[in-house]
Amino acid sequence: MDEQVSPFTFDDAPEEPGWKRWQFRDPTRFNAFIEPLYVRMDGDMARVRMLPRREHSNMRDAVHGGALLGFMDVALFAASRGFGVLSAGGAVTLDLSAQFIGAGRLDLALEARIELLRETGRMLFLRGLVVQEETPTIASFTATLRKMG
């Protein structure tokens, strides 16, 4: 897909040196709820960062599980773009399995560390961890994306 007509931007982030900013061009879509997202490749791992806000919180002032699931799902696509295996909007989530391990804090960046386990002609198999600076593991997850034809 031509970058000029892509529904996403994927450009260097001057506010986060060494990271790319991955963002939907249409701010009325769901992605705007968790964006901006920042992507950085670290060897075979994609690191996707989100900055949680109050609207992502639950009644305990921790990151809401639904916000975490949304972040995991969108991070899969940002990571796949970082891996170079997917153009924007070129796949759908077939499954996403998550295990919540700890509470996410609102005052620290959340980071999804995602590995591409396997790519076939139509499928991407991925796994990841959501971490924060002071809580090593917030959640773990696995997913399958189906590339569009």
Q: For 118-141, write each residue's pLDDT tens digit.
A: 999 899 999 999 999 977 899 999
In words, the CATH class of domain 3-147 is alpha beta
| pLDDT tens per residue, range 40-97 | 999 999 999 999 999 999 999 999 999 999 999 999 999 998 898 876 558 999 999 9
Closest of 112, 3, 134, 117 to residue 51, by C-alpha: 112
| pLDDT tens per residue, range 6-51 | 777 778 888 888 998 888 777 777 877 888 899 999 999 999 999 9
| pLDDT score for 148 | 85
Distances (CA, A) of 92 to 28, 106, 146: 19, 29, 5
Per-domain residue ranges for the chain?
3-147
Q: Which helix (H) or strand (E) holds 66?
A: helix 65-83
Distance of CA 136 to the CA centre of its chain: 17
Cα(123)–Cα(125) distance, integer angstroms: 7
Count of residues making up the chain: 149
With a threshold of 0.85, does the pTM exceed it? Answer: yes
The torsion angles phi and psi of 79, rounded to 5 degrees, stand at -65, -45
Cα(20)–Cα(140) distance, integer angstroms: 23
